[in-house]
Amino acid sequence: MLIYLRLGWRNLWLHPWRSALTSVALAIGIAALIFLTALNEGWMQQVKGNFALTLTGHVQIHARGFEQSHRLADSIRHPDAVIDYLRKQAGVMEVAQRLRVSGLASSAEGNGGAYIYGVEPEVERRLSRLAEMLSAGAWLSPRGGHELLLGDGLADRLHVALGDKVVLMASMRNGEIASEVFWVRGLLHSGVLDIDDSMAIVPLGMAQHWLGMGEGVTDIVLRARDAEAVPALVRHLRQHLDPGTWEVLSWSDIDPMAQQWADFADAYTWVVLLIVILVVLAEVLNTMLMGLHERVREFGLMAALGVRARQLFVMVLWETVLLVLFGGTIGLLLGGALVWWYGLVGIDLSRFAVAFSFMYMEPVIHPALTVESCARILGAALCGALVAGVLPAWRAARLEPVEALREW
């Protein structure tokens, strides 16, 4: 095998310019793919992370039926025991309770529909990104009270500002309508329409009291230590929590949009990968066929000396693999260096910040390279090399020694 590697390597450099040009084309292609994949991975991590932690959390646990009905009658009446259990799970970083209800927000000058969330102020600050979206005023105080955070779009519709009074109205568990007065303590701006135009956040204790929920909540929300481990965490919880009582949902179960974006971006990367590999491998095939044409007599000589057809086949295939490995390794190093640098400094796309915030993206993207991505690109290049190498290898193996030795 070593002799074929040595022969292959030296044969490649018989025409250094030709091999160098092919290697450069390969390296640029692979480097571009590495960078594109890392960019995609970086912003998809952002999108998925931001999407999950903006509001949904990594995992939500409801009483059976709540996800379908969204009625307070399907709430969790005594959450303490299950919260204690969840806090003991290794993959869980934070556990928060919420009371969620649709209602109406009214001020002296207007009214509008609202998603009303009762949250634990300090726990929520650690679990979600809601506190980071504060554009004016302050986050809910630990002691609670009649404090209200409003999405800035909703505040505009109500014509209210910090310190103004707002009345929230919603159905109680028993179906009766209840209202409560709150004072605006802060305004939120996320770039996400559902939050900015509809969100009203109040302290959990106040919401429970107002809506007659006792200690009842609608959601127990988890933040996982590792976002990639969420599927495993969900499987584990589904195995250990009674499915007749609880429903355990991951962020992508609750709203598959971000996951679908990620899947689409992944599919898009595969298409680009395929196109680049095809173009580059056409170049490799051309190089190998030119080499074959020039070396017909040499292959005839080797066959005459006793090299078997399949050994010639393997030798030419090795040459192709070596060429791709050489160019691919340079491309991997080049692409890796670009990813490393831009991973540190980030790519500033703040001029597109409005559009980005709508898609849960941040204005600065940090490309992120995974071993899986590198393996996928190099694997695809090598598979392509084997495919591109088959034709010249097959031709070399089929040469009749007598005919080949007549070539000059």
Partner 1 sequence: MAMIEAEHLRKHYRSGDARVMALDDVCLTIEAGAFVVLAGRSGSGKTTLLNMLGALDRPDAGALRIAGHDLLAMNADERAAFRLHHLGFVFQAYNLIRVLSARENVAYVLQLRGMGRRERLSLADHWLAEVGLAEFADRRPDQMSGGQQQRVAVARALAAKPDLVLADEPTANLDSHTGAELIDLMRHLNEREGTTFVIASHDPAVIASARMLVTMQDGRIVSLEER
Give me the residues that bind partner 1 (CB under 8 A), please. 3, 7, 10-11, 14, 297-298, 301-309, 401-402, 405, 408
Within 120-176, strands assigned E span 134-137, 147-151, 165-171
What are the DSSP calls for 219-276, one per residue? EEEEEES-GGGHHHHHHHHHHHS-TTTEEEEEHHHH-THHHHHHHHHHHHHHHHHHHH
- For 120, other C-beta atoms within 10 Å of its C-beta total 20
Residue number with CB closer to partner 1 (77 or 398): 398
Residue number with CB closer to partner 1 (195 or 292): 292
CB of 395 to partner 1, least distance (A): 16
Q: What are the residues facing 177 on neighbouring strands? A: 171
Amino acid residing at 383: C
Residue number with CB closer to partner 1 (207 or 303): 303
CB of 376 to partner 1, least distance (A): 34
DSSP letter for 367, please.
-
Residue number with CB closer to partner 1 (298 or 362): 298
Residue number with CB closer to partner 1 (10 or 126): 10
Count of alpha carbons within 13 angstroms of residue 398, beta-carbon side:
6
Residue number with CB closer to partner 1 (2 or 345): 2
CB of 285 to partner 1, least distance (A): 21
CB of 394 to partner 1, least distance (A): 15
Residue number with CB closer to partner 1 (281 or 396): 396
Q: What is the CA radius of gyration of the chain?
A: 31
CB of 18 to partner 1, least distance (A): 15
Q: Would strands 147-151 and 177-188 be described as parallel, antiparallel, or unpaired? A: parallel
- Answer yes or no: are the C-beta atoms of 124 and 141 closer than 8 Å: no
CB of 401 to partner 1, least distance (A): 5
Token pair of 313, please? Answer: 């086949």
Widest CA span in the chain: 100
Residues with Cβ < 8 Å from 126, sequence gap 6 or more? 94, 223
CB of 26 to partner 1, least distance (A): 21
